[in-house]
Amino acid sequence: MHERGGSARGSGGAVPVELRPQDDGRSVVSATVFLGHLLEQICNVNSYPLSESLWSPHLLLPPLRRGPPLYKTQLLPLFTRRNRWWLKDMAAIGSFLLPLCLVLAIASFTGSTTASVIQDACGRTSFPDLCVESLSQKPESQTTDEHGLAELAIRVAAESATAASTYVSKVLEGAVNDSSWHQCLDDCSESYVDAVEQLDDSTGAMEDKGYANVNKWVSAAIADALTCSEACQGVALPDKATLTEMNTEFTNLCNVVLGLIEPLSK
């Protein structure tokens, strides 16, 4: 006679729940195996490793075959008079499993739909790869629309401008003995302060859906980055490549914003 609560090996360290044995003394059925089968058949989830790893010749349930469900040969035998003993025990689990399948299906659909919105919106910009990469790093991008994506792009551009301004300030501290450095970095510092302010104005304009004003402020921020680049042209700055790279990235991010708001303004 089998004892209740006996252990069975589970996949990934899961502890299976054992149900009551049948009257004829045959081995108990692992609820984990049964749940794995139901996930395969009802939710269309590939739980084959879960059910297969727990399968042994001593269990009542054979491993269900992959592919379309064969209800007559695989599931209906579970509902015969002989096997009805476990229905009461599985009722609570079943009432949890079906809503879970629905939640998983909705989450999967929503995730793929959101990714499609980002891809489509970024595909209309001059730098689609940069657009997707920068927006995907923001959790809010997973639950917003095209207007929200444009707002996030403005925030990303503002963060880039702030980083460039911080870098310029640090380099400026070491440029005491070179007047050409000072002129270049002073211009860049002022330019990026202006750029941050203009992007702040753009954020306010987005709240009112003033897309024409957003276009104006973001274009002005691009002009600020160009002013910085021109001021430092021909100046032998230490690690000038870093400043050039920051200028380029900021300009590209601003162009991403312009690409995102263009269809919104029509």
pLDDT tens-digit map of 150-208: 999 999 999 999 999 999 988 887 766 777 888 889 999 999 999 999 999 999 999 99
pLDDT at 23: 41
Burial of 96 (0-12, 13-18, 19+ CB in 10 A): exposed
Mean pLDDT of 22-42: 46
Domain carrying residue 38 = 11-101
For 129-147, b/e burial (b = at least 16 CB within 10 A) is ebbbebbeeeeebeebebe
Domain co-membership, 202 together with 72 = no
Domain co-membership, 36 together with 168 = no
CA distance 12 to 9: 9
Q: Contact 161/192 with Cβ under 8 angstroms?
A: yes
Burial of 171 (0-12, 13-18, 19+ CB in 10 A): buried
- In a domain, residue 59? The reply is yes
Domain co-membership, 51 together with 132 = no
- Check residues 85 and 235 and name the one with the higher pLDDT: 235
- Domain count along the chain: 2
Coil, helix or strand for 30?
A: strand
Return the structure tokens found at 111: 């995730």
**Confidence category of residue 242, pLDDT binned at 50, 70, 90:** very high
Q: Is the pTM of this model over 0.75?
A: no
Coil, helix or strand for 80?
A: coil
pLDDT at 252: 98
- In a domain, residue 107? The reply is no
**Phi and psi of 30, rounded to 5°?**
-75, 125
Return the structure tokens found at 12: 């990934």
pLDDT at 88: 53
pLDDT at 84: 52
Non-local (6+) Cβ contacts of 105 within 8 A are 43
| CATH code of the domain covering residue 179 | 1.20.140.40
* Least confident residue range of 22-31, 211-220, 231-240: 22-31
Q: Is the pLDDT of residue 81 over 70?
A: no
pLDDT at 25: 39
Mean pLDDT of 239-255: 94
pLDDT at 118: 92
